[in-house]
Each structure stands twice: as C-alpha cells, then as structure tokens.
Amino acid sequence: MTQLSEFQRERVQAVLAASPLVPVIAINELEDAVPLCQALVDGGINVLEITLRTEHGVNAIKAVREAIPDAWVGAGTVTSVAEYRQVEAAGAQFVITPGVTEAILEFGVTSEAPLLPGISTVSELMMGYALGYREFKFFPAEVSGGVPALKAFSGPFSDVTFCPTGGIRRDTAKDYLALKNVKAVGGSWLTPADVVAAKDWAQITQIARDSLADL
C-alpha cells in the first residue's frame, strides 16, 4: 500500500499554516474570480479554496493562479478522481474534498496537488490514516458534532489536525481555532453571496480584515 509522502504532508501543513481562515469560494460569474480573490488577499487571507460547486470552478482556478501567484490557490468540492485530475491540470496547489472514497485517497497519495480529505466520522478518518494522512477537513462541522466532536477525536488521534468547515460563523471560528488539533477554519461567511453579486470588493476586503481581527 502506497503511503503519503512527507513532502505532501508538508505541503498541506504549509497551506493550513498560511492562514487561519480559508474562504469557501463559489464563482457564479467567471469575471468575479480574480477581483474577489484579490480582495480576500488584500484583507490578509492568502489561502483560497475555489470550489467546483459551479461550472466556473476549474477556469477560475486557472485565472487566479495566473493573476495572484503569491496566494495558495486550491480546489474544493472535488468528488471524483476525474475532477481531481482536472483541477490538478488547472494548477490547483491543494485539493479539498467534502468526503472520502478509497479511489480519491489513493489518487491523492500520488498527486502533485496534495489532498485535504473531508471526513465526518472516525471510520472515515481511519481510512485516510491508514494511508498516512494526518490532516483532514472536518465537514459538515456544526452538524457533525462541532467543537465537542473534535475534542473527542483528539483522544485516539492526538497526531491528527483538522480544518473544520460547514456551518461555522465569524463569531464561532475562534472557538474552533482554540482547539489544539485545529489549524485553520473554512467558511463561506467571508464571501457573502449578496456582496459578491454587488461586486463590492472593498467590503470583501473589510470582512476578511475584521474576521482575522476577531480571532
């Protein structure tokens, strides 16, 4: 069984160390991708999870990678190996999934773009753990037990760290980040749909700044 390399673990750790907040970004208009991501970077957030929740995800990753080379640009909501290959070709520097399959975990071990697998149960965690994964997305965090669940995970898996995402708000992010096994928190509150639709990039920058200041 092929194991995750130390290099890939270090890449994922670098992503999680680069920003305590990871915006979950859905691009409804491709032209918004670069200004939206630049607004987040201007606000102090330099890890960008561009999801495949819309048809523009892959092209948005390409555009942002070219326009903002100093940011960490990754792909979220990747649900198949085919999508994994697509975003890898588009230049994604990391890949985040909402859940796990054996195929995705095994592909992630060999990929240039390191994987942060999504899990919500100990059994799913153990699937990844067996392949050498020690960093996971915990999703959907709030409905899967939130802070108490992550505290419980730390008992049998003291060497595992998480990026919880799903239902976390600006005022609850710091509760998660206070946990020793949480390195970053993902959230969609950083990119409110109405603000993005209005193309109010200055407000996006302010939300990012204020959210970081709250931590």
**Measured between alpha carbons, how far is 201 from 35 in angstroms, rounded to an integer?**
7
> In this structure, what token pair is assigned to residue 67?
């326009």
Q: Are 46 and 71 in contact (CB under 8 A)?
A: yes
CATH topology of domain 6-210: TIM Barrel (3.20.20)
Q: Are 123 and 140 in contact (CB under 8 A)?
A: no
In 3D space, the residue among 75, 88, 96 whose CA is nearest the CA of residue 163 turns out to be: 96
Q: Which residues are catalytic?
A: 49, 137
In 3D space, the residue among 195, 167, 157, 162 whose CA is nearest the CA of residue 177 turns out to be: 162
- E strands, 68-154, where? 72-76, 95-96, 115-116, 118-119, 135-138
Is the pLDDT at 146 greater than 80, yes or no? Answer: yes
User: What's the confidence (pLDDT) of residue 96?
Assistant: 98
User: What's the confidence (pLDDT) of residue 188?
Assistant: 97
User: What's the confidence (pLDDT) of residue 2?
Assistant: 86
Residues 6+ apart with CB under 8 A from 157: 122, 125, 129, 181
Is the pLDDT at 24 greater than 80, yes or no? Answer: yes
Is the pLDDT at 1 greater than 90, yes or no? Answer: no
Per-domain boundaries in the chain: 6-210
Give the pLDDT confidence of 75-125 residue by residue, as tens digits: 999 999 999 999 999 999 999 999 999 999 999 999 999 999 999 999 999
SS3 category, 118: strand
> In this structure, what token pair is assigned to residue 11?
């890449």
Banded pLDDT at 73 (limits 50, 70, 90): very high
Residue range 129-145: mean pLDDT, rounded? 98
User: What's the confidence (pLDDT) of residue 54?
Assistant: 97
Residues 6+ apart with CB under 8 A from 215: 20, 21, 173, 174, 177
Residue range 34-59: mean pLDDT, rounded? 98
Residues 6+ apart with CB under 8 A from 102: 127
- Percent share of the chain, pLDDT over 90: 98
SS3 category, 6: helix
User: What's the confidence (pLDDT) of residue 99?
Assistant: 98
Model confidence pTM above 0.95:
yes
Give the pLDDT confidence of 150-202 residue by residue, as tens digits: 999 999 999 999 999 999 999 999 999 999 999 999 999 999 999 999 999 99
User: What's the confidence (pLDDT) of residue 118?
Assistant: 98
- Work out the mean pLDDT of the chain and round it to a whole number: 97
